[in-house]
Amino acid sequence: MIPVSRPSIGTEELDAVKKVFESGWLGMGVQVFEFENALKAFLGAEKVIAVNTGTSALHIALDALKLGSTDEVIVPSFTFAATIQAIIACGAKPVFCEIDNKTLNIDIKDIQNKINKKTKVIIPVHYGGQPCDMDEILEIAHSCGAVVVEDAAHAFGSTYKGKKIGSFGDITCFSFDPIKNITCGEGGAVVLKNADLAAEIIKKRILGIDKDTWHRYKNERSWFYEVTGNGFRYHMSNINAAIGLVQIKKIDTFTQKRRYVCSKYDSAFKDIKGIELLKRDYNNIVPFNYVVKVNNGRDKLMDYLKKNGIDSGIHYIPNHIQPAFKKFSVDLPVTDDIFKKILSLPLYPDITDDDIAIVIKTFKGYF
């Protein structure tokens, strides 16, 4: 079976983890701080805080903004459930927003329709690595005093108007889970400029303690610590950071391969009647997934591909139709229509030319 996605890892990552094991320091330490510095250098960012998952990154960022039960967060329904769970964990209300039919990113006009005095945060999701229109979103948010928290789980390495996602804006959250553009095994990061907010998040990621574990053991009073606020056990480990340090060096190679695969698919599928390709600028993005819209019979196509050894997926089931979020449900006809059509095809750096050819031949053969 050719999978939809898989991590691209090897002996270099294994060697890096081995060194951590040999050091005897598996928790948060030198490798984590080195990974944060590597992210700063790559993104051109001011403050980077590494955490244990992308979901933790979103939650801790929103929590630091002190959201409450009367606060609203505008967010596309068309995203992974983690985005919504982070909002609800802070006690705030998710306000589901439509997406653009061509890019599958948040619809700017619907943001304008739904923003009000209760809106404290807007969460644009850079779906598939394609950046949202950040200039317009930031302008809308700042005009009403809202903060923009970017869900950039798909967009590590992508650029917007010559600037890397994470190098500008209010707060950006990345994910480094097994299938993301780079992986730490599991991991995430919060990127921002505000020094006071960054200091708060740094404390929150390790139970509200004002000094992290590594620094405590460097002090004369190695036993002393102080809890100054609420917090979570969200810090990244040296094991995960070691993997990330190897992976970030491979991002250019990963990017080239992902763009190559998508271009091959686009060229092969562009004239097939009954499907639509997404609007993607491969020169400026690191494509996280390859999605087509199948106008009729999407599920039959999935079955056909599976019978022929090719896995496919649906990313994502909209959150406004999920049972857990039913009370926040609204009418989103564009999102509903797209959900019925989308299909993700195999895309990962280690996919071979032979497998690409099989996917193309099988997909075209169905039609």
Q: What is the dihedral of CA 225, 38, 154, 92, to 10 degrees?
A: 30
Cα(151)–Cα(147) distance, integer angstroms: 13
* The pLDDT of residue 305: 98
Q: What is the CA radius of gyration of the chain?
A: 21
Instruction: Name the token pair of 262.
Output: 């998508």
Give the H or E element holding residue 189: strand 188-192
pLDDT over 70 percentage in the chain: 97
Cα(332)–Cα(96) distance, integer angstroms: 8
Instruction: Name the token pair of 312.
Output: 């496919």
Domain ranges across the chain: 11-248, 251-366
**What mean pLDDT comes out for the span 153-170?**
98
Which residue among the candidates 180, 203, 204, 293 is catalytic per the annotation?
Answer: 180
For residue range 306-338, list pLDDT tens digits in order. Answer: 999 999 999 999 999 999 999 999 999 999 999
Lowest mean pLDDT among 67-76, 104-113, 150-159, 226-235: 226-235
Nearest in space to 3 (alpha carbons), one of 290, 323, 331, 259: 290
Cα(9)–Cα(349) distance, integer angstroms: 10
* The pLDDT of residue 154: 98
72 with 93: CB under 8 angstroms?
yes
Lowest mean pLDDT among 168-177, 208-217, 297-306, 313-322: 208-217
For residue range 8-42, list pLDDT tens digits in order. Answer: 999 999 999 999 999 999 999 999 999 999 999 99
Grade residue 224 by pLDDT with cuts at 50, 70 and 90: confident
* The pLDDT of residue 123: 99
Q: 257 an active-site residue?
A: no
Q: What is the CATH number of domain 251-366?
A: 3.90.1150.10
For residue range 187-200, list pLDDT tens digits in order. Answer: 999 999 999 999 99
What's the CATH number of domain 11-248, 3.30.1280.10, 3.60.15.10, 3.20.20.140, 3.40.640.10?
A: 3.40.640.10
* The pLDDT of residue 221: 65
For residue range 260-288, list pLDDT tens digits in order. Answer: 999 999 999 999 999 999 999 999 999 99
Grade residue 227 by pLDDT with cuts at 50, 70 and 90: confident
